[in-house]
Structure 1
Amino acid sequence: MITAKCEVHTVRITDVSLEQKTADHLKMLILEVVKEVEVKWKATIVAITSDASGESWAAIKQLVDEFPWFVAPDCFAHQVNLVVGDYYKVPSTSLFLQYMKKATDLITWLRSKTMVLSMLRDIQKALNAANPSQMQQVLSIIHAVLTCWTAHYLAFRCLLDLRTTLDILAKQERDHSSDATSRCKAQEMLELIEDPLIMLTHIGPLALAINFAQAAHCCLDEVLIILGYLVSRYQDLLNMMTSTNDQIGLHAIINSLEKCWSKSDQTVFIAAVILNPLYKAKPFAQICQFTTAGITSLLLKLWQRFQSTPAPESLHQEIINYLQD
């Protein structure tokens, strides 16, 4: 696929189910697409991205070695999802995983009872009728889909948004089921409703970041601003949290974000932020090497990398004029 004017266009789909998934083979397929885009589409390839799995990463590395002007960032929606995975691996998050299982069991049970879903809808309508000044949208119970990275967060967020409605249901409808087995199951599920189901404070910012990063029009400067926001947000949370388990989990997220950044082609991300007139050098104001001279040197080196020719003499002054507005 290629992106142009914020739209994604499919160039080619290749069936490799009967072929070996090697780095060399993937590199060959990418080169064929590069040639097709440059010859038939009259477009110049400047960046290639993929997930960071072993063979994909090796193929991209080979391409960058052969074409050093290529920018090759990892898919940062995937990277942020891996940060979530690193968070779940921390032993202190076991309580959170228990709440996840409870919430998933509750969602599965609620969605299996059409009458219960209807009652939830009626309770919400009644609450809206009683408080017309605070009328809210009538929500439904949604189930997470594994292939959608933000689905679990949204499904659990919906449960929290329905907390008042679920509490009313738990108090009013305990004896709704007809047979003893059903009543026992209903009692078990209704007790889950009364539990403090989940704490989404930790993964909420990551879900927001994935939503930005997976957009077809997400740009390099936005990725770096997102990473900066995440680290800043989790450091603030770290200062607020007194629980050791919370602090261990937050440290795991920050360390994982820094690991993602450490293996990035950092120069192009930094340059993309500087060349956005909304930001320029402001996000780096507290870092000593980001002087006018340092920024000029960085941009001149990128010119050399992309153009394979020395930068024109006028570029130095143009950069200074830009930074000084």
Structure 2
Amino acid sequence: MPNSLQDYFWKGEKQNSSYYKTYCKACVKNRMQIAGAAMSDIVTQGQSFKAYQMVRCCTLAKMIHANLILACTTVGSVLGRKDSWIAHLIGGQVACVHASAEAKADASAQRSAASKKRDEPDTPGAAAPPQKKQQKDPNQPSLTGFRRNDMPYGPAEKDVIQRQVLRAIVSGRLSLRAFEEHEMKVLIGMFRTTAPAILPTGKVVGGRLLNAAAADVEAITIKALKGKISGLLTDGWKCKKKNAVNAICANSYLIELIEVTALNKDGPSLCEQFAGMIDRVEVKYGCIIIYFITDADGAGAKKGRQLLGIKRPWLILPSCWAHQFQLILGDYFKVHDMTAVIAEDATALIAWINNHGKVRKIFDEAQKVISQDRLGSIVILAYLVANLTRWTTHFIAFFRLFLLRAALQLAVLQNRSTIIAAEVGAATSKESQRLKEDAERFCALIEDATFWNGLEAVLGDLEPICLGTNINHKDSTRLDQVLLTIAGILRFADHPEPEVKKAMLVRLEKRWNDCDQPAFLAALILNPFEKLSCFGLNANLNQFKCLNLLISLYRRMSDRPDNSDTPEQRKVREAEVSKAFLQYLSGMGDFADFDATLWEETNHNTNPIPVWDAFTGSRHLKELAEFAITILNIIANQACCERTFSRTKIEQSDHCNRLSLAKIDKRTKVNKFI
């Protein structure tokens, strides 16, 4: 051999009593390429860390000492044995990609020599002794043996694997026939040769397995809702088959998907449909529905919900405030003409940059100059696009554009003619003139300080609306939090534009009037961290007005047909609630020792529900505490339905558009519990 294999490795510290750690020079050299040729020479020539110490006095060596140690640590060590070196250089499955052809050739030669030596007999010139064949007794019993990969599966294992196949298909949004594909079976067979034989077909997955899993989910849902106070929410969606589908959810559980294409959408018809939904859920799941939520689409769901309130006055019937805040965003653009113009200009500018690759690259180069920090890091931000179905993206897209103001203006200042030429390209005649005018218009817009000042003002108005949308789109958003987000956008009362101020307050007042107001007000008052602190002087509230509000709501919700209390019992309960509520507002009795600040510090949150849970143990406070928990558990949005539709849209993709609504319903339910 012209070279020993150890010549290709750097000798390090001892790994154990017999062998040293070694580091592949090719790997280390590749890692250290950024240090320059001198460093590469040191790595190539040095035989050990001791040899490296001899050149360490060199200024270059001092500078890169830490980097060399880091490189060795990063590439990892190889045990200082010949077979380990061979395995690293030409290993069975993963060979060193940095090793030279000479090193690999030496390793191959060493391996061949070792293999030949094993095959040679111990005595030189002597032939290997012939293997003696053992005769088998035909009468001797024998056991059937299997290699590990050929072991068959038992019935129990088969059932578990098939159920896992269903979970993989549902969670991975795969076709029901995914595991029938030949290449999939080949892949599974590589893990265990008998596995393809027990893989279920698409018919089995979409039939027996899916039905069994859906039944398990149904049992879990019934157990979770049985005997509980709950709410119901519903929303509509059009699937790829152009059929209208309604989702019905309770406490974030999907109850069912129903097709409503042929059903009437007028108020009285929807009222009957809503009442039927409530009755079916209460009977099937054994729960008590106290609130019902839809969106507020005028003659349809809103009218149906209002009629339902007349027929069943004990129900709390708020509209979805996630939708309401999105509509408030639309109101803002409608009543503020200047805002609409700025929003259109900003949207057009973003689209122009994204639609012209050469122009975008020029702006990206300007971002490199602007964003480079003291450490040399460079961040190039994307130009985000607003999406109508993503409710907060208008603010996000405009805010990103505002962040890039300096980079855009720098690019136009330095490369205006280059930007125009990049957009025009090879276009001629009228098209060339149109593209040139486009580029000049947007360059002028980027230079216009009035546009950027207006965009900053728009962002200030949009932020509280988008924050409210985000807050009100969670399953945990309580009515008191909704009311506080509504108060947050009352900043329009101080808007500098009188027309905008007047129009926005009128629209906000209209949406607030459509609410089930007593429930929202009671929730805020029953929040022990807020009480009456959020109400201003103009609210004209005192303890007795609050008591009248609370008792009216308590009577209304107690007036259910299934309430078996006698009139005398109801009076006693109302008296308990009244007395406890006045003590609560005054901070007397059991409430005298409650310190909101101390509670927040020890429990690290301001969730009022655990506070009221603590009072349920007191006999004379239990009725008020349970009522407060009921009110504070009401959620005024359709987020569960929206997430369901996002999932069903994926389930009914272009590749799975033949799935029936029943199978989509089951797959969606099963996926939620995976």
Calculate the TM-score normalised by the size of structure 2.
0.43
1:216 alignment partner in structure 2: 475
Q: Does 1:234 align with 2:492?
A: yes
2:289 matched to 1:45? yes
Matched position secondary structure for 2:343 = helix
> Match for residue 274 of structure 2?
30
CA distance in 2, matches of 1:261, 1:179: 57
How far residue 32 of structure 1 moved from its aligned partner, in angstroms, is 3.2
Match of 1:317 in 2: 579
Change in CA separation of 1:122 and 1:14 when aligned onto 2, cut-off 3 Å: farther
The one of 526, 534, 538 equivalent to 1:283 is 534
Pairing partner for 1:190 from 431, 443, 448:
443
Task: Give the unaligned 5+ runs of structure 1.
Answer: none
Residue aligned with 2:292, SS: coil
Among residues 293, 313, 317, which one is paired with 2:544 in the alignment?
A: 293
What CA deviation, in whole Å up to 9, does each residue of 1:141-190 have, x standing for no partner? 12122223322222222211111121122223321413462444333322
CA positional deviation for 1:122? 4.5
SS of aligned partner of 1:12: strand
Q: Which residue number in structure 2 is paired with residue 99 of structure 1?
A: 342
Q: Residues 300 and 20 (structure 1 numbering): CA distance in 2 closer, same or farther, change over 3 Å?
A: closer
1:115–1:13 distance in 2 versus 1, CA, 3 Å: farther
1:202 to 461, 482, 494: 461
Of 249, 255, 259, the match for 1:2: 249
Seen in structure 2, the aligned counterparts of structure 1 residues 170 and 131 have a Cα distance that, compared at 3 Å, is: farther
Using the TM superposition, give the Cα deviation of residue 73 of structure 1 relative to its aligned residue in structure 2, in angstroms. Answer: 1.1
Letter paired with 1:280:
K
Higher relative contact order (Cα pairs below 8 Å, separated by 6+ residues): 1
CA contact (8 A) 1:76 1:223 kept: yes
For structure 2, which runs of at least 5 residues remain unmatched after alignment? 1-247, 560-569, 592-674
Q: Does 1:248 align with 2:508?
A: no
- 1:165 matched to 2:407? The reply is yes
Of 48-57 and 203-212, more deviation after overlay is shown by 203-212
Indicate whether 1:79 and 2:324 are aligned. yes
Deviates more, 1:112-121 or 1:257-266: 112-121
- Considering fraction of residues, name the structure with more strand: 2
Number of residue-to-residue matches in the alignment: 311
Specify the code of the residue in structure 2 equivalent to 1:274.
I
CA offsets 1:264-295 (integer angstroms, 9 cap, x no match): 22111110001111111212262575222222
| Offset of residue 56 of structure 1 | 0.9
Match of 1:16 among 254, 257, 260: 260
Equivalents in 1 of 2:555, 2:372: separation in Å?
A: 66
Matches of 2:347 and 2:258, distance apart in 1 = 36
Give the TM-score normalised by structure 1. Answer: 0.85
1:61–1:288: structure 2 CA closer, same or farther, 3 Å change rule?
closer
Q: Name the % identity.
A: 27
CA distance in 2, matches of 1:302, 1:81: 29
Query: What corresponds to 2:334 in structure 1?
Result: 89
Whether the 8 Å CA contact 2:363–2:411 is kept in 1: the answer is yes
**Cα 1:58/1:168, change in 2 over 3 Å:** same
CA distance in 1, matches of 2:250, 2:477: 10
Q: In the superposition, relative to structure 1, how do residues 3 and 127 fare at CA in structure 2: closer, same or farther (>3 Å)?
A: farther
- Give the Cα separation in 1 of the matches to 2:306 and 2:492: 31
